[in-house]
Structure 1
Amino acid sequence: MTKINAGRPRAVIFDMDGTLFETDTLLIPVHKRVFETLREEGLYMEETPPVERLLGCLGMLLEDIWKNVMPDSSLEARKRADVLLLQYELEGLAAGEGLLYPHVAETLSELKAGGAKLFVASNGLEDYVKGVAQYRGIASLFDGIYSAGEFGTSSKVDLVAKLLQDHGLVGEPCWMVGDRSSDVEAGRSNGLLTIGCAYAKYGKASELENADIRISDFRELLQLPE
């Protein structure tokens, strides 16, 4: 693990699902549509898995998500689910479905006005991650939106390392903000102060045990000591 550089952050890196975006407000109807279509196409004839199983996998790479959600499915079904999930997510976002967590937009604006560069680092697909930012009106606040789908990284540790390298932030004081153990690992492995979002309910509370700080309201980011 790299030594943490504390102090006023030059940059703040955010996870997307469960951190900025209240994913279940979009994913619950999308999940239903995905499995209805798979069944219509004869690719998955089992009972629809509970949506809680999908929500619990947020933060994983997509191929790992389907292995957990429908472990008895064929590779063809999983590949088709990839396509349908993105299609229905983007359609839902365009139709106004899906909400940011309370106070996200204004807090991001204040952090940016205070001089911090803002980034997203997500294990999701590129079009989805950028789509959330675009359709929810926060894309212009970020200096970069990084996704595993765009860069083909095998872990969030590698994705965050690439982001830091690309923007000359290696060794600089930065924060990593997220709700899953993968976010904490990515931050700590890259020497960042890790902030766990305890308001999200998609993972287990124990996933944030190693975070340096935990917050229960997004606005608390503005109150943290420099």
Structure 2
Amino acid sequence: MTLSLIFDMDGTIFQTDKILEISLENTFNYLRESKLWDKETPIEKYREIMGVPLPVVWENLLPNYSMEVRELANEFFHEQLIANIKEGTGALYPHLEEVFSYLKSNNYSIYIASNGQIEYLKAIVDYYYLDQWVTETFSIQQVQTDDKADLVSTILKKYDIREGAVIGDRLSDINAAKKNGLTAIGCRFDFAQEAELSQADLVIDDLQDLKRIFT
């Protein structure tokens, strides 16, 4: 079908939910200790918007707060995420290594395009040795917009990719594929929403399904 596959990171490759709650709770505890927050941690709200760039996250979680407070929260949260990754609290999705090995051995090029920040993505790639399969990992910080379609476009231009697929769990991944003329493969995983998945060209329930698709 295609030779170039672009994967989302959070909720597609990496089980972010395993470090999300504790990292977010730690961040809002920090805000409470700093007398900047006195309510419950908005974990469900974050789950709803999972997949958007972090600046957008804090616009939603701290809508009536200054940019300074949002940046403070973002920095602390980012540090907590990375610390939890390095402690082994997170995990890859089941069969990820098996599927990546299969794709690589069958001459598929693998890339990662994520709304995550550079240091965060590097922590995951380094901890799980993803570089043995992944050609390059791209962060939304590498483009001037918050549109993942622009990030995917950057990958296509750099590697002269004409055909391919974007594999991800959220609408931003599906739109990024379609805006760039690629196949959109939705992942029915932790943060996925059926209304968004309905817009994908294909939907998988397990990463092993990719071995069937790319035979």
TM-score range, shorter chain: over 0.9
Give the alignment partner of residue 25 of structure 1, picking from 5, 18, 28: 18
Among candidates 180, 193, 198, match of residue 183 of structure 2? 193
Secondary structure, aligned partner of 1:22: coil
Q: Aligned pair in 2 of structure 1 residues 144, 225: CA closer, same or farther (>3 Å)?
A: closer
Contact kept in structure 1, 2:24 and 2:41, CA below 8 Å: no
Residue among 80, 84, 87 paired with 1:95: 87
Aligned to 1:210: 199
- The aligned counterpart of 1:14 is 7
Distance 1:94 1:225, change over 3 A: closer
Q: 1:92 to 1:68 in 2, by over 3 A?
A: same
Aligned counterparts of 2:214 and 2:93: Cα–Cα separation in 1: 23
Report the Cα offset of residue 66 of structure 1: 1.0
Corresponding residue for 2:147?
155
Q: CA deviation at 1:202?
A: 1.6
RMSD value, Cα: 1.4
Q: Is 2:128 the partner of 1:136?
A: yes
1:114 Cα deviation (Å)?
0.5
Q: Distance in 1 between matches of 2:48 and 2:90?
A: 17
SS in 2 for 1:100: coil
Percent identity reads: 32
Mapping for residues 66-145 of structure 1, pairs under 5 Å: 66-145=58-137
Gaps of 5+ in 2: none
The one of 49, 58, 81 equivalent to 2:41 is 49
Give the drift of 1:31.
0.7
Higher relative contact order (CA 8 A, sep 6+): 1
2-structure distance, mates of 1:112, 1:31:
35
The alpha carbon displacement at 1:225 in A equals 5.4
Q: How far does the alpha carbon of each residue in 1:20-46 deviate from its partner, in whole angstroms, 9 at most, with x for none?
A: 11111011110111111122223x223
CA pair 86-49 structure 1, distance change in 2 beyond 3 A: same
- Following the alignment from structure 2 to structure 1, what is the Cα–Cα distance between the partners of residues 142 and 155? 12
Deviations 1:63-115 (A, max 9, x none): 11111122232222110011111111111111111111111111111101110
Secondary structure in 2 matching 1:195: strand
Deviations along 1:142-164, one digit per CA (max 9) or x if unpaired, are: 11100112334320010000110
Residue 12 of structure 1 aligns to a residue whose secondary structure is: strand
CA distance in 2, matches of 1:203, 1:215: 11
TM-score normalised to structure 1 length: 0.90
CA deviation profile, 1:4-61 (whole Å, cap 9, x unmatched):
xxxx21210000011111111011110111111122223x223133312112222111
Taking the aligned partners of 1:9 and 1:182, their CA distance within structure 2 comes to: 21
> Who is 2:160 aligned against?
168
Q: How many residues align?
A: 215
Counterpart of 1:192, as a letter, is L
CA distance in structure 2 between the aligned counterparts of 1:152 and 1:201, rounded to whole angstroms: 29
- 8 A Cα contact 2:27 2:77, kept in partner: yes
